[in-house]
Every structure is written in C-alpha cells, then in structure tokens.
C-alpha cells in the first residue's frame, strides 16, 4: 500500500466534492458565499472526510460517500469559524490565514458559519433522497454529534472551564470527548453507514472514533504547548495564555503523551477487527498520532 498516494487521492476527492457541492462564490449574496468558500477551501488536513471515505471503503454499499464527507467538513468548518470569533476563542489565524471574521467581518463570519451548518444537513437530504433510511441515519448521526450533548456542549464546557483553577480530569475528558472526539466518531460511523456495514461494525467504528478522537485532541493540547505558530497554522501557546483546561495543564507533557499513545492503541485495536482492507485506516490513525513527535 502506498499510503501517501492513497491519502493524496482521498484529499483530492474531498476537495473536488467541496467545490462541486458548495454554492458558487459569485452566487447571490456573493459576500456570504465567498466567505463560506474562503473558510472551507482554505486548506486543512481534511481528516474527518477522509476518515469517512476510508470507513465507507470497508463496505460494499455502492453508494457515493463524497456528499456525506462534504457535509461533515461543512459542519466542522462552521464550528471553527464560530470557535475563532471574539466572543469565543478570539483567534486571528486559522490554517495559516486570517480567520473569517478578520478576512471579512464578524457578522459575515457568524452568517457563513450558520450557512455551512445548515448546508450540511440539506446536502445529506438532497444527496441521499433515493435512500431514505440511509439519509435519516446520516442526519441523525451528524445532528447528534453536532448538538448540545456533544460538539456544542463540549464548547460550552470548554468556555466554562476557561481560567477555572479547580477544573477536574472528568470535566476535561467531557470537553475533549464531545468538542473533538464526537465528530471523528461520527465521521467513521457515517462512512460505515454509507458503506452498508452491519450494526456490530458500526459499534466498533464508534469505539475507534472515540479513542482516536480523544488522542487527537490530547495531541492538539501537546502541540499548542510545544509547537510554533507557523507549524500549527494558528496561534501557538494560546491555551495557556487564555487559561484553558488542557491535558498538559492538568497532567503535564509526559503523562499527556502517554494518554495519547494509550488512546491511539485502543483505537487501532478496534480498527483491526473491522471487515475489509483496514490497512489505509490503520496507517491514517498512526499518522494522526505522529503529529506530537
């Protein structure tokens, strides 16, 4: 397996899907659609949609997973736009470029995020209308991951924990499992749904996504404390400056690296029992873990 070539092909497939399934930049209102495309087409690892494509490839559903992958990336990007706003994390950089509220303005950034959020669900409904049970399952999965009990709830707890001297390990795990891991979990499960995998395999994908997602956020905490702004593509050291509750703050660097390794190992163990050729998915999970080295 040529992992680099397969990864590049998957990312190219996602990029083409993003361009195809997003309104043109000059569609009225042009400022809104240009801001949506600015945020969505500005690079990034495309990890979530690639995970979805990889999981879909394990099955034999015969249904195009690209619209679902685009929907996941639209929703993820909306969350980044809103996360960067002055009322939230107040960051000036994202993926090495000015954040949307800096490149445009705050009101446009809010609306661009809103539009990407709603576009994700419209795209699922339109693209899988011929498979109503699948469409319902995809909307349910993405809506649950993005809602008040997971993504948005994790963001709320993150804000509440900011500057909190008495934040606990349980509170930190809730933030990471919901603000970050829930969307990686949903990406894998949605891929499994499109691929037609059986329920036990969907449960395994859920376990893998939860563990790999937790490792991913722990590694983000490590990188914020150890990498520079150019490497990260966003402002380095901001977590400590803002008094955020992180694994590094609560447990230190060595323990955080150990926790990330343990979560990655559990995620990989789950991936290995899935059907089909899991080599690419295993290599992708290993690459995610290597970001901290």
**pLDDT tens for each residue of 117-130:** 999 999 999 999 99
Q: State the Rg of the chain over Cα.
A: 18
pLDDT in tens, 53-95: 999 999 988 999 999 999 999 999 999 999 999 999 999 999 8
Going residue by residue through the chain (293 aa), what tens digit of pLDDT does each one get?
799 999 999 999 999 999 999 999 999 999 999 999 999 998 889 999 999 999 999 998 899 999 999 999 999 999 999 999 999 999 999 988 999 999 999 999 999 999 999 999 999 999 999 999 999 999 999 999 999 999 999 999 999 988 787 889 999 999 999 999 999 999 999 999 999 999 999 999 999 999 999 999 999 999 989 988 776 776 777 777 777 889 999 999 999 999 999 999 999 999 999 999 999 999 999 999 887 54
Q: Is the peptide bond before 29 cis (omega within 30 degrees of 0)?
A: yes
Phi/psi at 235 (5° precision) = -65, 120
119-140: buried (b, 16+ CB within 10 Å) or exposed (e) per residue? Answer: bbbebbeebbeeeeebbebbbe
3 state DSSP class of 46:
coil
What angle separates helix 199-226 from helix 253-272, to the nearest 10 degrees?
Answer: 160
pTM for this entry: 0.94
Which SS3 state, helix, strand or coil, does residue 147 take?
coil
Residue 204: which of 286, 268, 150, 283 has the closest Cα?
268
DSSP assignment string, 222-233: HHHHHS-HHHHS
Q: How far apart are CA 29 and CA 27, in angstroms?
A: 6
β-strand 97-98 against 93-94: which pairing, if any? antiparallel
Beta bridge partners of 97: 94
């Amino acid at each position: 397996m040529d992992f680099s070539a397969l990864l590049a092909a998957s990312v190219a497939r996602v990029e083409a899907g993003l361009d195809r399934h997003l309104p043109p930049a000059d569609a009225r209102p042009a400022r809104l659609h240009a801001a949506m495309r600015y945020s969505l087409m500005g690079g990034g690892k495309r990890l979530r949609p690639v995970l979805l494509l990889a999981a879909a490839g394990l099955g034999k559903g015969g249904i195009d997973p690209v619209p679902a992958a685009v929907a996941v990336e639209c929703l993820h990007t909306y969350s980044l736009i809103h996360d960067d706003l002055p009322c939230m994390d107040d960051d000036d950089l994202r993926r090495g470029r000015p954040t949307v509220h800096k490149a445009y303005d705050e009101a446009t950034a809010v609306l661009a995020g809103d539009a990407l959020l709603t576009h994700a669900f419209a795209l699922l409904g339109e693209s899988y209308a011929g498979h109503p049970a699948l469409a319902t399952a995809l909307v349910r999965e993405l809506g649950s991951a993005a809602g008040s009990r997971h993504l948005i709830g994790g963001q709320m707890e993150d804000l509440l924990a900011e500057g909190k001297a008495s934040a606990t390990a349980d509170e930190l795990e809730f933030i990471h499992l919901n603000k970050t891991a829930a969307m990686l979990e949903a990406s894998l499960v949605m891929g499994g749904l499109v691929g037609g995998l059986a329920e036990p395999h969907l449960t395994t994908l859920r376990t893998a996504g939860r563990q790999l997602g937790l490792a991913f956020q722990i590694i983000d905490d490590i990188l914020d404390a150890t990498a520079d702004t150019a490497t990260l593509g966003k402002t380095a050291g901001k977590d400590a400056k803002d008094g955020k509750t992180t694994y590094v703050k609560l447990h230190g660097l060595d323990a955080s690296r150990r926790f990330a390794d343990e979560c990655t190992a559990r995620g990989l163990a789950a991936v290995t029992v899935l059907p089909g050729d899991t080599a690419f998915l295993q290599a992708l999970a290993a690459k995610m873990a290597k970001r901290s080295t």
